[in-house]
Amino acid sequence: MAAGSLFASVPRAPPVAVFQLTADFREDRDPRKVNLGVGAYRTDEGQPWVLPVVKKVEQKIANDASLNHEYLPILGLPEFRANASRIVLGDDSRAIKENRVGGVQCLGGTGGLRIGAEFLRRWYNGTNNTATPVYISSPSWENHNSVFVNAGFKDIRAYRYWDAAKRGLDLEGLLEDMESAPEFSIFVLHACAHNPTGTDPTLEQWKQIAAVMKRRFLFPFFDSAYQGFASGCLDRDAWAVRYFVSEGFELFCAQSFSKNFGLYNERVGNLSVVGKDADNVQRVLSQMEKIVRTIWSNPPSQGARIVATTLTCPQLFAEWKDNVKTMADRVLLMRSELRARLQALGTPGTWNHITEQIGMFSFTGLNPKQVEYMIKEKHIYLMASGRINMCGLTTKNLDYVASSIHEAVTKFQ
């Protein structure tokens, strides 16, 4: 037996930044502390929120003697897959009517991205073509890059997105990068509520993006983690995905139900596949089955059952939409309240981006020095990028956060 460990030379991996932030927040004893880091909804009391409709459906499930725990099919619960795809593509979706849509139940949005990436690496633009460029917005969710790298892609590139100077979308840069991208490159697009900037293309801008992508044969891989949560309206938040489908694209859409159902820890996701016809979609799904079988075999039931039950019952569905609107409205309120306070304080700079941005996150524009001040001196935890989670704001801490931002911006430039 070797004297030392077989793992002696395994290095310690650095912790994921956003979780380290929450860990630091937990250890902080200061009573004024505020966590504007991790991306989960909070009530005005600063508490996690289990949606009332979810509690109701969980009771139903626990009391349903007809249910058992037999393995789901490899691709997941059929009622979940079909209804999840319907939710993003629309009740009147022609692609669904034409039977050229398939769903793969996955482990949250991450799982959908990974399965989609694994498939594309094996079967898209040739066979096992690891050289197909994958474009990810600059900035983006920090895990996007790793997912595609670990799926085997060798050429991950950034496309311009955030214009720090004007604090908005760099559409010109984005379109330029698309024009110069090799044909058949994969583009990861945020369906709505871009993470971390909160800045989405307008409808007109999406049309321009789609036109370039169509002309240059670029593959749209949508990441839809906030449908309903962003604007409060399911259809509005799905506009971009539906537009691309109506423009005839074949595309993937990794849907997460973590935020809009508050089911973060049950890992509920669906990878929607839109193809030219049923035969193509079926063959794609058959290959995805092979991929899934070697990772998690078949997906977990509880969360998918909750979502499927809710989406297929008109009463529960209405209740759910109401719960979603509750969350979206509170975020919108915090946005307008924060902006109002900063403007009232006369905080240097412009703050309309706080209300113009959408979804859970806001790119405040705070620089590293200002962020450090916020964390160390004011015990307000936010990402080094200046990203804040609006859900961390409450009527009780709004004043403190606003005045702290004011101090940070006036003390440091």
Which residues lie near a second copy (CB under 8 A)?
A: 1-2, 4-8, 10-13, 15-16, 19, 38, 40, 48-50, 54, 58-59, 61-63, 67-72, 107-108, 110-111, 114, 143, 146-147, 149-150, 258, 262-267, 290-291, 293-303
Please tell me which residue in 33, 49, 141, 237 is annotated as part of the active site: 141
Closer of 103 and 262 to a second copy (Cβ):
262
Task: Supply φ then ψ for residue 252, to 5 degrees.
Answer: -115, 150
Token pair of 337 as six digits: 């309240």
Compute the residue count for the chain: 413
Minimum CB–partner distance for residue 134 and a second copy (Å): 14
Q: Which of 164, 230, 159 is nearest to 194 (CA)?
A: 230
Please tell me which residue in 170, 200, 223, 237 is annotated as part of the active site: 223
Closer of 303 and 359 to a second copy (Cβ):
303
Pairing of strands 101-107, 268-274: antiparallel
> Beta partners for 137?
159
**Cβ atoms 84, 272 nearer than 8 A:** yes
The single-letter DSSP state of residue 180 is H
Task: Supply φ then ψ for residue 133, to 5 degrees.
Answer: -70, 140
Contacts of 167-175 spanning 24+ positions with Cβ under 8 A: 167/350, 167/353, 167/363, 167/365, 168/199, 168/353, 168/356, 169/199, 169/200, 169/201, 169/205, 171/201, 171/205, 171/208, 174/137, 174/209, 175/208, 175/209, 175/212
Q: Kindly list the distances between the CA atom of residue 294 and the CA atoms of 36, 75, 268, in Å, as whole numbers in the listed order.
A: 37, 12, 19
Minimum CB–partner distance for residue 65 and a second copy (Å): 9
Minimum CB–partner distance for residue 200 and a second copy (Å): 23
Minimum CB–partner distance for residue 70 and a second copy (Å): 5
Please tell me which residue in 33, 259, 320, 351 is annotated as part of the active site: 259
> Beta partners for 160?
138
Rounded-to-integer distance, Cα 139 and Cα 123, Å: 28
Token pair of 105 as six digits: 């139940």
Minimum CB–partner distance for residue 11 and a second copy (Å): 7
Token pair of 353 as six digits: 């981006």
Check if 33 is active-site.
no
Closer of 72 and 274 to a second copy (Cβ):
72
Minimum CB–partner distance for residue 1 and a second copy (Å): 5
Closer of 66 and 413 to a second copy (Cβ):
66
Closer of 142 and 356 to a second copy (Cβ):
142
Rounded-to-integer distance, Cα 407 and Cα 70, Å: 58
Check if 320 is active-site.
no
Check if 155 is active-site.
no
| Active site amino acids | 141, 223, 259
